Amino acid sequence: MNSTLKNYKAAKEIYAGIGVDTDKALKAMRGKKISIHCWQGDDCTGFEVKDASVNTGIAATGNYPGRARNADELRADVLKAMSFIPGKHKLNLHAMYAETGGKRVERNELRFDYFKNWTAWAKENGLGLDFNPTVFNHPKMSDGYSLSSPDPAIRKFWIEHVNICREIAFKMGQATGQKCVNNIWISDGSKDNCADKAGLRANLKNSLDEIFKNKYDKKIMADALEPKLFGIGTESFVVGSLEFYLSYALLNKKMLCLDAGHFHPTELVSEKISSVLTFCDELLLHVSRGVRWDSDHVVAYNEELQAIFNELNRANAYGRVYVALDFFDASINRIAAWAIGTRNALKAILISLLEPAEKLCEYERAGDLGSRLALTEELKSMPFGAVWDMYCETQNVPVREGWIELMKEYERDVLAGR
């Protein structure tokens, strides 16, 4: 008997003592997919052939060697990272990762053909795809506004881009046989005080109404709307706030996206989940880690990360929630960033499945809050690591720190030559 199995059997017995079936938890993990973001691999650069660019709302800091320079390198890096991550997952693409054969193609002229390589690669590797319009870092945002712009011609351009992306996402969902979530985030806003907030938000509403006139089968492609409190260059005002998008999503049966870094540092996404799911059929989560602000740090295992997934499990909501990652760190090995962030998110999911949620609720309903707190605290020292190691071993990925040397080997053999 190897050490992983031996440790697992001991942990299984301990968990059984509090009414938790670890085998059942491991079986449930097989259906948990995380949408792993492609932009960690190239620092949010994309593969567009550009005449000019305007920086609006996105910035990756650092200059660690080995950044993917083209789609083939990025796909290879993603697969290497996935070899360290248990389970079968999805890749989250942005429109700026189109492969146009070296031609300059405007964003409102994109088509599915430019993503056929990505789709074929995903099918070959048993992966799903998610998608995002790229509504930032573009000359047609020189005033800081896109779908909310006071200029009708600017709004028309971005409406066309988002609609094309929705069509591409639908075709991706058809091709892969897995629902494609098309998430809309725009960086529209103002660095300083804004006088016409109402007018800009009316413009955004009208643009969204125009976009959603085109209907798609929600079993194949689902639309999501992503709010934000503030961002780079939009410190004072963001058009697409939580209040705006939550209202729009409820009235128009769209999915809301909650990003863990898009709110005030004292706000917790874990506290918002149950409220949103009370009224929305589905929810998209962008799992990230803000440090003092929306800095998109690599996901670390911490209390808020665990609280997010505990909420999903306690609400029996895993079937209604899509989980994606959204961070980019150019100061460390990019393969390591993917592996660390995704493994941590999966650890939090597994721990949530190992929680005796019903027992906690029983204590609560009986008014026995001391027992509720006591059990919550005792869970923190349960032998979760042995169950996680077993999950990794059964999924044929390295156990514990075993992946680190393999990552460094890839850096020496592949990344160092770029």
Average pLDDT over residues 99-104: 96
Question: Does residue 183 share a domain with residue 83?
Answer: yes
294 in catalytic set: yes
- Pick the catalytic residue: 77, 326, 329, 411? 326
- Pick the catalytic residue: 158, 185, 338, 403? 185
Average pLDDT over residues 275-293: 95
pLDDT at res. 1: 66
pLDDT(311) > 80: yes
226 in catalytic set: yes
pLDDT at res. 58: 79
| Among 13, 29, 70, residue whose Cα is nearest residue 47 | 70
Question: Does residue 211 share a domain with residue 330?
Answer: yes
Question: Does residue 49 share a domain with residue 177?
Answer: yes
- Provide, rounded to the nearest whole percent, the portion of the chain with pLDDT above 90: 92
Tens of pLDDT, residues 286-300: 999 989 887 889 999
- Pick the catalytic residue: 294, 311, 355, 389? 294
Our measurement of the distance from residue 182's CA atom to the centroid of its chain's CA atoms, rounded to an integer in Å, reads 12
Q: Which domain holds residue 181?
A: 32-353
Question: Does residue 342 share a domain with residue 382?
Answer: no
pLDDT(335) > 80: yes
Average pLDDT over residues 238-262: 97
- Pick the catalytic residue: 138, 286, 311, 329? 286
39 in catalytic set: no
pLDDT at res. 149: 97
pLDDT at res. 231: 86
pLDDT(201) > 80: yes
Question: Does residue 363 share a domain with residue 343?
Answer: no
Give the residue carrying structure tokens 């059997």: 9
pLDDT at res. 399: 96
CA distance 297 to 309: 19
Residue where a domain terminates, one of 303, 333, 353 = 353
Question: Does residue 288 share a domain with residue 391?
Answer: no
Which residue would you say has higher pLDDT here, 100 or 60?
100
Question: Does residue 262 share a domain with residue 166?
Answer: yes
Mean pLDDT of the chain: 96
pLDDT(55) > 80: no
pLDDT(54) > 80: no
- Pick the catalytic residue: 37, 262, 272, 347? 262
Average pLDDT over residues 254-266: 94
Residue where a domain terminates, one of 353, 375, 406 = 353
Cβ count within 10 A of residue 250? 13
Question: Does residue 406 share a domain with residue 315?
Answer: no
Question: Would strands 189-190 and 128-132 be described as parallel, antiparallel, or unpaired?
Answer: unpaired
Question: Does residue 265 share a domain with residue 254?
Answer: yes
Question: Does residue 322 share a domain with residue 196?
Answer: yes
pLDDT at res. 59: 79
267 in catalytic set: no
- Pick the catalytic residue: 282, 296, 355, 389? 296
Number of domains composing the chain? 2
CA distance 219 to 310: 26
Cβ count within 10 A of residue 369? 10
pTM of the model: 0.96
Which residue would you say has higher pLDDT here, 173 or 231?
173
Q: Both tokens of residue 247?
A: 């209202």
- State the pLDDT confidence band at 52, using cuts at 50, 70 and 90: low
- State the pLDDT confidence band at 65, using cuts at 50, 70 and 90: very high
37 in catalytic set: no
Query: How many degrees, rounded to 5, is the angle at CA 167 between CA 166 and CA 173?
Result: 90
Q: Both tokens of residue 398?
A: 């390295």
- Pick the catalytic residue: 48, 226, 355, 389? 226
Question: Does residue 362 share a domain with residue 232?
Answer: no
Residue 293: which CATH number?
3.20.20.150
- Pick the catalytic residue: 179, 228, 254, 347? 228
Q: Both tokens of residue 48?
A: 């567009």
Residue where a domain terminates, one of 334, 353, 372 = 353
Question: Does residue 278 share a domain with residue 407?
Answer: no
SS3 content of the chain, % helix, strand, coil (to 5): 50, 10, 40
Residue 258: strand pairing partners: 285
CA distance 206 to 244: 13
326 in catalytic set: yes
CA distance 29 to 26: 5
C-alpha dihedral sign at 306, 319, 9, 357: positive
